[in-house]
Amino acid sequence: MEQAVFFRVVKLSSSILVLVLIGILFAVLVPRPRAASLLQLDEQIVFLPAIGRMMTNGSWEVSVSGFVYEQETRPGARGLVRKYLGLDDETMSAEETRIFEERIRRFLIDAEGGKRIAVRIGDATAAMEVTHGDGHFSGLITLAAAAATNTALRLAAMLPAGDARKFSGAVQLVPPRGVSVVSDIDDTIKVSNVRERRELLLNTFVRPLKPVPGMADTYRRWATNSGTAFHYVSASPWQLAPVLEEFLTHDGFPAGTLQLRTLRWRKELFGGYSPDTHKRTEIGRLLAMFPEREFVLVGDSGERDPEIYGTLAREHPGRIRAICIRDVTGEPPPAERYKEAFKGLPAERWKVFKEPGDLPSEVR
């Protein structure tokens, strides 16, 4: 069955190729109903960076989300991915082998539904909803105004007695006013070559993550303006969250939230999933959470960022300060595609750029 599924993959859009290939590891994504229980010693937690907003009484409401899973091996699936990529011991360096094993391991898991998770931020604690069949959980924690001494905090899982492990995550408190930079990741700030299938897979599973030159410098300059917040929104699966967080930190990108997606096997293979819907939903949620903030949307021309961002700007007039599209397809700004994508928007509100140096030096 794995091989039959695999050959369907090559017919699908390259934008979800990595996700569907990972779907070969089928058991990861099959919900298994069970009675609610506490975290076991063979189960682990991954937190996505949490986001906090100020309430009218000065307290902070923090949205927490993450996943619970159990590590598996599945040598057959590992071998299938290696074979497709043309990887063997003779052609792979020691570093490539290490990277491949570390990244593929993140997908060789069983999602754990029915788990009760509690979280602490400072002195505040809260129980999350019981994990779904895909291992996902979410919930809210309220922080007193006095507890928010800075905008970057840490959260931690509260584990059962006798479990000395530590699972933690970042918390970003976003002021009610200011500018939010919403950034795509693949081919916007990270070299992925989404339009080249083999290159996309090699960049995902084998090679060190490589930043787009100059983008971190640009974002750091933007971050110096008071009230600027960053949100990294991608259709990459949540299993890559630790890898992407390490990339953002190592290459000097400003801290921010990370909106990834849950990989659902049946939707990937048989329809029902749209990268456009994921990105529009996540950005729409940010717009709703922070009604007094203005937004700058940064993406690339490799997939449908111009069309998604243009639609959002028309749906939320006055909220989108600027749209910046990195050119990876060679289409000039006067191209018909951009005329259609940004129809009805002032010309000064959108920009197609080749080099980060073409972008404004600051956002205010």
Query: In order along the chain (364 residues), what is the average pLDDT of each group of 10 residues?
Result: 38 46 49 74 95 95 96 81 80 90 90 95 96 94 86 93 96 95 98 91 93 98 94 92 96 95 57 71 96 98 96 96 97 95 96 95 83
Amino acid at 64: V
Answer yes or no: is 23 within a domain.
no
**CATH number of the domain that residue 143 is part of:** 2.60.40
294 conformational bin, left if phi > 0, alpha if psi -120 to 50, beta if neither? beta
Asked if 125 and 213 sit in the same domain, the reply is no
Q: Which of 172, 200, 216 is the last residue of a domain?
A: 172
Q: Which of 154, 172, 190 is the last residue of a domain?
A: 172
Residue-number span of the structural domain to which 119 is assigned: 31-72+109-172
Q: Which residue, 281, 280, 222, is CA-closest to 256?
A: 222
| Residue 43: strand pairing partners | 70
Q: Which residues contact 5 (CB under 8 A, 6 or more apart)?
A: 23, 24, 26, 269
DSSP letters for 35-81: --BPPPTTEEEEEEEEEEEE-TTS-EEEEEEEEEEEE---HHHHHHH
Asked if 129 and 218 sit in the same domain, the reply is no
Asked if 116 and 35 sit in the same domain, the reply is yes
Give the number of other Cβ atoms within 10 Å of residue 80's Cβ: 18
Asked if 165 and 49 sit in the same domain, the reply is yes
Answer yes or no: is 296 within a domain.
yes
Q: Which of 131, 157, 172 is the last residue of a domain?
A: 172
Asked if 285 and 158 sit in the same domain, the reply is no
Answer yes or no: is 81 within a domain.
no
Asked if 53 and 122 sit in the same domain, the reply is yes
Instruction: Look at residue 217 in the predicted model and tell me its pLDDT.
Output: 97
Contact predicate 44/68, CB 8 Å: yes
Q: Which residues contact 124 (CB under 8 A, 6 or more apart)?
A: 141, 142, 143, 144, 147
Asked if 238 and 143 sit in the same domain, the reply is no
B/e letters for 170-202, b = 16+ CB within 10 Å, e = fewer, are: bbbbbbeebbbbbbbbbbbbbbbbbeebeebbb
Instruction: Look at residue 5 in the predicted model and tell me its pLDDT.
Output: 37
Contact predicate 243/272, CB 8 Å: no
160 conformational bin, left if phi > 0, alpha if psi -120 to 50, beta if neither? beta
Instruction: Look at residue 16 in the predicted model and tell me its pLDDT.
Output: 46
Q: What is the DSSP letter of 275?
A: H
Asked if 185 and 161 sit in the same domain, the reply is no
For the chain, the C-alpha Rg in angstroms (whole number) is: 21
Answer yes or no: is 240 within a domain.
yes
Asked if 154 and 191 sit in the same domain, the reply is no
Instruction: Look at residue 78 in the predicted model and tell me its pLDDT.
Output: 82
Asked if 187 and 335 sit in the same domain, the reply is yes
Answer yes or no: is 299 within a domain.
yes
Rounded Cα gap, residues 99 and 337, in angstroms: 38
Q: Which residues contact 110 (CB under 8 A, 6 or more apart)?
A: 27, 28, 69, 70, 72
Asked if 142 and 256 sit in the same domain, the reply is no
Asked if 319 and 352 sit in the same domain, the reply is yes
**CATH number of the domain that residue 336 is part of:** 3.40.50.1000
Number of domains the chain contains: 2
Rounded Cα gap, residues 150 and 25, in angstroms: 41
Instruction: Look at residue 256 in the predicted model and tell me its pLDDT.
Output: 95
Q: What is the pTM of this model?
A: 0.88
The angle that helices 94-105 and 75-85 make with each other, rounded to 10 degrees, is 130
